[in-house]
Structure formats: C-alpha cells, structure tokens
Amino acid sequence: MDGRNVDREVAIRLGINLWLARRRAGYSQEALGVLCGLHRTEIGFVEKGKRLPRVDTLIKVAGALGLGVQALVDGIEWIPPGPSASGSFAVRRAA
C-alpha cells in the first residue's frame, strides 16, 4: 500500500468494482487513465487493491466511466463505533 492505514478488504472490493465498471465500459486501463488524467499504473494499483484513491481521484474515475461514485463503493459500508469501539468497515461479498 502507499503508507496510509488501509483496510485491505475495502481496497480489494473497490478494486473489483472498478475493474468490473471499466470492463463494462469497454476501456483499457490506459484509455481510462487518459480520460481521468491518471497513469495506467494508478488504475491498475486501485484495481488490484494495492491503493485506495483520494476522493477527487474517485470522482474523476467515476465520471469518466459515466457512473456515480456509489457504483464504485458498492458493497462497502462504515459501521459507526459503539460507546468504546473505534468503528469499522463492513464489506459485502460481490454477488
């Protein structure tokens, strides 16, 4: 990963969602990168779950694919913390 504290399951799920959306749209990683102003390796890192994009990058990618951000984060939820817990993510398995 890139040094930030990242939930591995979240990164993997986001990557799967991006891969599916990109394939459905008929773009290569390079073509999508050009549309977003990103290098193809950045698209690949996100798809492989090796990197979580910043929110502005997520918005660019979703827009280039003609989607809302929700499509890329589908299946990822935040569970608020209880009185003494720190909270956590819940990742639903892809259907």
Domain boundaries, the chain: 8-91
pLDDT at 5 over 70: no
What pTM was computed for the model?
0.82
Please say whether the beta carbons of 14 and 52 come within 8 A: yes
Taking the C-alpha atoms of residue 58 and residue 84, their distance in angstroms, rounded to an integer, is 31
**pLDDT tens digits, one per residue of 54-72:** 999 999 999 999 999 999 9
What topology is assigned to 8-91 in CATH?
A: 434 Repressor (Amino-terminal Domain) (1.10.260)
